[in-house]
Structure 1
């Protein structure tokens, strides 16, 4: 389902919201790695947002912090992206659907 959404929307950033995840094993690591591969091929990035402490530790032990950003609070990132978009747009420009931040909960 995530792959289908990535392919149909072509986002520059895929945000995986882990705030409600309570358990993670190698399958969860595989999910992140697979989405990283797809997004890398498309020139995009993956962000793992709001993982609980246990999940954050698992991700770091698996080396995911080298492939993705792992952030506890998305607010600064979203503000930074919006400011960059506003700076690059003229008043007549509209944000393309593919430039919007896509959020999915695993």
Structure 2
């Protein structure tokens, strides 16, 4: 089954979402870390009241995590789960 075209397509679709999303998030995360280390003046700049860019970007990390989770769930429900179910049914001999 692992060599089947259906499984290869499933794995390809999964990887086409997961790898770019992981790279994008890691770049975003390390940008925050690097700004925190090397751009302390910018990160400490007040935007309004006692709210700084560092706080806004830091909270943005949480927002991004929830957004990626939402996008992955939607992607999995539409793209991955139906294909995985079809493969499972084929393996169990229940394919139509």
Normalization by structure 1: what TM-score?
0.27
Normalization by structure 2: what TM-score?
0.29
Judging by fraction of residues, say which structure has more strand.
1
Judging by fraction of residues, say which structure has more helix.
2
